[in-house]
Every structure is written in structure tokens, then in C-alpha cells.
Chains A and B, each alone.
Chain A
Amino acid sequence: MLFNSFEFALFLPLSFLLYWFVFKKHLKAQNFFLLAISYLFYGWWDWRFLSLIAFSSLVDFIAGQQIEKSNTKARKKLFLWISICTNLGFLGFFKYFNFFTESFADMLNMVGMQTNPWSLNVILPVGISFYTFQTMSYTIDVYREQMKAEKDPIAFFAYVSFFPQLVAGPIERAVNLLPQFKIKREFSYEQGADGMRLILWGLFKKVVIADNCAIFVNEVFANYQTASGLELILGAVFFAFQIYGDFSGYSDIAIGTAKLFGFDLMTNFRTPYFSRDMAEFWRRWHISLSTWFRDYVYIPLGGSRVGKGRAVFNTFVIFVVSGFWHGANWTFIVWGALNAVYFLPLLLMGKNRKNTDTVAENRVLPNLRELWQMGSTFGLTCLAWVFFRSESVGDAWSYITRISSMNYRLNLNMRPSLFVFFCITIFVLVEWQIRNSNFAIRIKHLRVKILRYVVYFGLLLLIGLFGAFNETEFIYFQF
């Protein structure tokens, strides 16, 4: 079930009403209902994959308890590894099996040994990368004694499968989300209103910004060999807005929906395109994944508090793994590696934590220096996005080399409409306005109530007019 679908438009209000009117009296009933609707939500794609998520939850539930009960370190480790191997095993099989066999066959072919890759017709279960990471964080935290093992299977299963963030994040930590399943939820007007605003803004980002940009982006990337330099630059810039609108839009809808059910999820994006360097960008982009890798891979590897050589290696590993997490394709690995190359000079010069505040704090406009920093960071990001979006590394390379062809005419039949530029401008202005806050359209300074409703009305109208409901999936579903 997609957030931008007719089914979800029925599912959400029905679930909301049943949750608060029928199942509100007991915590167990609330959790059981959430589990049931989450499984319904997930099973809507393919009910067969429910067994996968149920099995993964069961293994981690048992592993968590066994880790806590175990007296010896070795036994604790054994159960931790059972959990990690099960989760990574599923992920490896469903997501990376064909990639590894094909890459292995390519390698053999390169050294003259002709072989055909043995590939399986494996369907990638929606959101597998998200929920496996979420559930793994639980067993690791229990192992590290940062939290107690969960005794209530319903609460635990509901935590793993919590529908708002199940298929595309934010990847929640058990420490943050699981305790919320242990307290009976009471409805709060403020929380509900914030939830609705987030859903509205998220939908705007998805169906107005991302889906409109996608039309031009698809045309440019499909015909990059005939597109002019200007069109290629525009294609990359539009893709930057498409992926941001798409993914942060999903996160906003997820966080908003969770709020309607009385939950607070972590913020996943903090206006990343206003970053002044790549280190700041990575503190603001897909925060739940970046911090996951930081806490469970980078720091255990030694982080940056090691020798320079080792720190460079750790950084490289973290970016490449993060790229590979996105998909079984060399393009994602190169994208990750390129970001590591951007990041490393900052790390080596000790400037990676230089910009930890918000740009132009307490000012209306940025100064020229900040403008240049933001522009160059955005440019570098767009360049990396070309690898992310292209079908192959070769395609991405041709795309980039063609940009410098100095041909700046408009060759393609498809042109971005003025309306898209208008929407992007509005979007950037709103994002600039809210760069200090977690909420996009709380618009507290719009004290006249009627004005606030005019803004909501306008957004709804744009969503209604430009909503390609049922047609476009969220990009991050494929991961």
C-alpha cells in the first residue's frame, strides 16, 4: 500500500478511528491492533513476505531474551551472531545474490574464463533493508546492555513492523521507539495537528515536487546521449530535488502518520541542501541511516579516534557500505565512494565538525561566503547523484563528460515547465524559512488563522491537481 494511493486514503482514517475509539482502553489492545494493521499494510504488496518479517521478528525476539539471560560473553555473542546472520542472510539473499554471482562471472570473464552467471529470479521484498536494520539495532543494543530485552512479543512484533516507517524509514532505534509501545497512548490535539501538517507537507514534496521533477529527469537520463549540456545540468539538479522531495516527503508522511497514532519518530532530514560542506550534508541527510552506520559500524571500527590511515579506511568503508545498502549496483558503490572522497579532506584537515550550527542563524539571508559554500556543496551533491540515478557507471561517466560538451541549446522534446520552477522556488523558500525547526508548515508566525487555512487549502489543491496517485512509487521503496 503506497502512501499516495487510494487504498491508503481509506486505510488511514479507518485505522485511526478504530485505534482511538475501539482499541484505546488497553495498551495490549492498542499494540495488537497496530500489529494487525501493520501486517495488513505490508501484506498488501505481497502477503508471502509477511512470513519473512514475522520470522525475522521472532528470531530477534528470542535472541534478545537469550542474550540477556546468558551468563557468558561467548553465549551472548552466539545469539547476537544468530540475529545478525539471519537478518543479513535475508538481506544478502533477496537483495545481493544476483549482484554477487553476476559480478563474480564478470570477473572470471575478464581473466578469460567464460562463464554464465547463475542468477535467480528473486523478488526484492519491499523495505527489507529498513526493517532488518531496525530489528538488528535492537539485538545489538541488548548485547551492549544499552536496553533490556523485550518480554512482550506483541509489543516487539509491533515495533518491528510499525507501518508508518516499515518500508522506507526512518530506521528507528529500539531505544527510542520500543519504550513508546510500553506506554498506553493518549490522543493529543497538538500531536494530531502536527501529524496532519507533516502529512500534508510530505505529500506536497512527493507529488508536486518529486513527481513533477521526475518527468523531466526521466527524459534526460533516458536520452542523455542526445541531450545538451544545459539539459544534463538541469537533469542532475532536478534529480537532486526529486530524490529529496520523494524521500523526505515519505519521511514526513511517516512521522506525521506515527504522530496520529501517538508516536514520535526521529527526524530524518534537516534541510540538507543548505549545508555548507559535505560533512554537514551527511549530518542532515537520511539521518537515521547515517547515525545507524555511525553507531553500529563506524564507531566499532574505531571511528576517527585512531591513526589517520585507519580513520581514512573507516570513513571509506562507511560510505561504500552505505552506498551498497542502497542497492546491488556498482553505481551506488561509486556514489558512496565519491561521497567519501568529498568527505575525507574535511576529516584529514579536522574541519568535519566546523559547521554544526544552522546556516545564517538569526539572520534572514545568508552572506556571500555561505551562499558560495552552499552552492558548491549542492553542486558536488548533484554530481554524485548522477551516479546514483544512472543505470551503470559507464552511463554516469558519459553523462558527466557530456555536460562539458559546451552545448547549451535545448535538444530534447521535453522541457521543464515554468510551473515546476515555481514550485521548486516555493519549496526552497519554505525550507529556508524552517531550517531551524523540525516542522515545515507549523507556520506559527501566521497568527491569522484564516491565512493558515489558506496555505493548507493551497497545498491540498496542488496535491489534488498534481497527484499521480497509484502511479509512482517512492524511490526508496526499492532499497
Chain B
Amino acid sequence: MGRFLFKLSLFGTIFTILCGLYIYLFATNKSDTIYIKIISPKYCSFILGSSRASQGIEPLVLMKNLNLKHEIYNYAFTVNRAVWGPSHLKAIKKKLKKCDTSALFIIECNLWSFYSKSSKLNSFPEENAPPNSIVFPNIHPNFEYFSGGYDFPNLHLIIPSDGKENSYVNELGRMVITKKFDSTLIDQNIKTKMKTYANKFNSVIKDERRFKYLSETIAELSKYGEVFLVRMPVANEMLVLEEELAPKFDERMKAISNGRYINLKYLSNTYITTDGNHIQNKYVDSVTCIIADSVNIQLKR
């Protein structure tokens, strides 16, 4: 038994050390965007929500324009991960550093995160995906993510960066898209995206649990600071689809946020998106400035 345990532990230890060293050295902000966010330290203030926020709201601009006491971190993920439910709330709490009551939380509310497939109404499928599935975040190297939460079958984490990636995560969590988009590519992207969303439109129904959990998330975060909901600008085609699916969405968000709702859907004509969903990188700062101005106005600063 001694020999067995010794060999097993020796093998396990060498394997763990080598893997840990590799991840520690090669997991950069260009490798796996989810991993980088998960291993970041705890923060007092957050930008939360879907990829619209992850790509479209710049923390540095918010900090500059709002004179924030604490750094604000962009902890937004793709819409299938950042869904309002018990596991996502838990994931947010694990990342939250309880500083004082001067924190700021910008929650991007995306219509699609309140709609679920009818077959999934008895469960919360996002609980199996990172960051929600990670029990021990904020650690680097993170073996839990490496062994279980990995973006399957995504090899980016172990392949050293070749500098040709189309995106990276900046130091405060925003996903910066460096790829160039011409109008033909954008049209093509919008067409594909609209097709996907039209299919989605036919297969989802409103999930009241999601609204309840958004309210719970707001209530929890309000203990530590100010909470604002933001609706990001999208392409016109997307806006039409969303208005058709949920014409009273804005009223509902306004009610949930007690009026602290920054609605930028009216800018959907102004800012061009890369795919109907995400505003282009060159507009990120100005959109973020508008959000900051709205926050200043609402807080009467």
C-alpha cells in the first residue's frame, strides 16, 4: 500500500506542478478570455451582463469620468453564461470584494438573458458553465477550470499566444476586439446573427425566474453601492426583433431598477455593430462616456 500511495502521489505531484507551471506561464490575456476573468482578483465595483457589455463598456472610461473610488472590473460574459439565476449570483458574490457602500455596479440587461428554452424551465443550465460552475475562482493557476470548466474543446489556454488573435482582455476585464470589420463582413455577420436570433425567437419563452433573480442580484449589490441597469445599442434589425419579442421590456427594467435604467436603444442607429449585437471597438469609449454621464446625472453629481 505504501509503495502504491507513494508512486501515485509522486506521479500526481509532478503532473500537477508541470501543468500548473505551464498554465501559469502561458495563460495570457490573449489565450482564454473566460479564464483570465475568472482568475482576476476580487473587485468592489463591476460591469455585469452579457457580451454586449463585455465588449462594449470600458471600465477605464467609467473610472475617469465618474471619479470612482474603487477600480471597476468588467465581469460580463456571453449571454449563455451571464444569465440571471442562483449560480450566476453566487459567481458574482465570489468575485465581490466588500469594500464600503461607495461601489458602482453597471448591469447590462439583455433581453435574451430573460428568455429560456421551454424545455429548460425546470433547471438553470448555466450552472454548469464557468464562471458559475467554478467553486474556487480568483486563483491562478486554476486547476478547477483547467480540469472541468474548460471551454470545451478549446485549446487556447495551453497554446502560447502567436500574437495573431482577434481579441484580448484588457487589465480591467473588457474584451477588446482587434479584428477589422468592413461593411461587407458586417452585413454578412448581421445576416447570420439575425438568422440565429430569429430561430432563437421561435424557441424561447419568457422566464419569470430570471427577472426574480435580477431583482435579487440588484438587492444584493445595492448593499455595497449604486446599481444601474443599462440597455446597450444594437443594430436596427436586432432592435426590431427585440421590440417584437418584448415590447414592454424597458418598462419592466425601469421598475426593477427603481428608475435607475439607462436606455441606449435609441442610439441603435448611431453606433455600428460588428454583427448586430456588439458595438464596434471604436465606439466603445463614447458609449461608455454616455453611460458615465447618465450615472452622473442620476446621482446629481
Partner-B contacts on A (CB < 8 A): 6, 20, 187, 189, 192-193, 196, 211-212, 215, 417, 419, 453, 456-457, 460-461, 464-471
**Cα-based distance from A20 to B4 in the complex (angstroms):** 12
* Stretch in contact with the other chain, from B99-107, B149-157, B260-268: B149-157
Contacts of B299 in A (CB 8 A): none
Cβ contacts A to B, 7 pairs, < 8 Å: A187-B4, A192-B1, A211-B152, A212-B153, A215-B153, A465-B155, A466-B150
Known: A453-B11, A461-B19. A6 touches B150 (CB 8 A): no
Known: A187-B1, A461-B19. A469 touches B147 (CB 8 A): yes
Q: Among A189, A211, A417, A464, point to the contact of B146 (Cβ < 8 A).
A: A464
Known: A189-B4, A453-B11, A461-B19. A470 touches B152 (CB 8 A): no
Nearest 6 interchain pairs by C-beta: A469-B148, A192-B4, A468-B152, A187-B1, A189-B4, A464-B147
Partner-A contacts on B (CB < 8 A): 1, 3-4, 8, 11, 15, 19, 128, 133, 135, 144, 146-148, 150, 152-153, 155, 158
Most chain A CB within 10 A, of B1, B144, B155, is at: B1
CB–CB B15/A465 < 8 A = no
**Cα-based distance from A453 to B232 in the complex (angstroms):** 53
Contacts of B4 in A (CB 8 A): 187, 189, 192-193
CB–CB A471/B153 < 8 A = no
CB–CB B11/A6 < 8 A = no
CB–CB B152/A471 < 8 A = yes
Contacts of B146 in A (CB 8 A): 464
CB–CB A20/B1 < 8 A = yes
Known: A6-B144, A457-B15. A465 touches B158 (CB 8 A): yes
**Cα-based distance from A465 to B152 in the complex (angstroms):** 8
**Cα-based distance from A464 to B15 in the complex (angstroms):** 11
**Cα-based distance from A438 to B65 in the complex (angstroms):** 68
Q: Among A187, A189, A466, point to the contact of B152 (Cβ < 8 A).
A: A466
Give the Cβ gap from A448 to chain B, nearest Cβ, in Å. Answer: 16
Known: A215-B153, A465-B150. A470 touches B128 (CB 8 A): yes
Give the Cβ gap from A226 to chain B, nearest Cβ, in Å. Answer: 13
Known: A464-B19, A466-B152, A469-B148. A189 touches B3 (CB 8 A): yes
**Cα-based distance from A419 to B153 in the complex (angstroms):** 10
Contacts of B133 in A (CB 8 A): 470
Give the Cβ gap from A365 to chain B, nearest Cβ, in Å. Answer: 32
CB–CB B15/A460 < 8 A = yes
Supply 10 further A-B pairs (C-beta < 8 A) apart from A187-B1, A467-B148, A471-B152: A6-B144, A187-B4, A189-B1, A196-B8, A215-B153, A453-B11, A456-B11, A460-B15, A461-B19, A466-B153
Nearest to A208 among chain B residues (CB) is B153
Give the Cβ gap from B112 to chain A, nearest Cβ, in Å. Answer: 20
**Cα-based distance from A193 to B11 in the complex (angstroms):** 12
Contacts of A471 in B (CB 8 A): 128, 152
**Cα-based distance from A466 to B154 in the complex (angstroms):** 8
Contacts of A6 in B (CB 8 A): 135, 144, 148
Contacts of B150 in A (CB 8 A): 465-467
Nearest to A13 among chain B residues (CB) is B8
Contacts of A466 in B (CB 8 A): 150, 152-153
Give the Cβ gap from A59 to chain B, nearest Cβ, in Å. Answer: 33
Contacts of A468 in B (CB 8 A): 152
Contacts of B147 in A (CB 8 A): 464, 467, 469
Nearest to B158 among chain A residues (CB) is A465
**Cα-based distance from A470 to B153 in the complex (angstroms):** 14
**Cα-based distance from A211 to B144 in the complex (angstroms):** 19
Give the Cβ gap from B132 to chain A, nearest Cβ, in Å. Answer: 11
Contacts of B153 in A (CB 8 A): 212, 215, 417, 419, 465-466
**Cα-based distance from A53 to B152 in the complex (angstroms):** 36
Contacts of B3 in A (CB 8 A): 189
Give the Cβ gap from B230 to chain A, nearest Cβ, in Å. Answer: 31
Give the Cβ gap from B98 to chain A, nearest Cβ, in Å. Answer: 27
Give the Cβ gap from B157 to chain A, nearest Cβ, in Å. Answer: 8
Give the Cβ gap from A207 to chain B, nearest Cβ, in Å. Answer: 9
**Cα-based distance from A457 to B10 in the complex (angstroms):** 12
**Cα-based distance from A125 to B146 in the complex (angstroms):** 32
Contacts of A469 in B (CB 8 A): 147-148
Give the Cβ gap from B200 to chain A, nearest Cβ, in Å. Answer: 15
Give the Cβ gap from B137 to chain A, nearest Cβ, in Å. Answer: 14
Most chain B CB within 10 A, of A193, A211, A461, A465, is at: A465
Nearest to B129 among chain A residues (CB) is A471
Give the Cβ gap from A309 to chain B, nearest Cβ, in Å. Answer: 47
Nearest to A417 among chain B residues (CB) is B153
**Cα-based distance from A419 to B146 in the complex (angstroms):** 19
Give the Cβ gap from A206 to chain B, nearest Cβ, in Å. Answer: 13
Contacts of A187 in B (CB 8 A): 1, 4
Nearest to B18 among chain A residues (CB) is A457
Contacts of A457 in B (CB 8 A): 15
Nearest to A24 among chain B residues (CB) is B1
**Cα-based distance from A193 to B158 in the complex (angstroms):** 29
Contacts of B144 in A (CB 8 A): 6
Nearest to A468 among chain B residues (CB) is B152
Contacts of A465 in B (CB 8 A): 150, 153, 155, 158
Nearest to A191 among chain B residues (CB) is B4
Nearest to A16 among chain B residues (CB) is B5
Give the Cβ gap from A375 to chain B, nearest Cβ, in Å. Answer: 29
**Cα-based distance from A466 to B148 in the complex (angstroms):** 9
Contacts of B148 in A (CB 8 A): 6, 467, 469-470
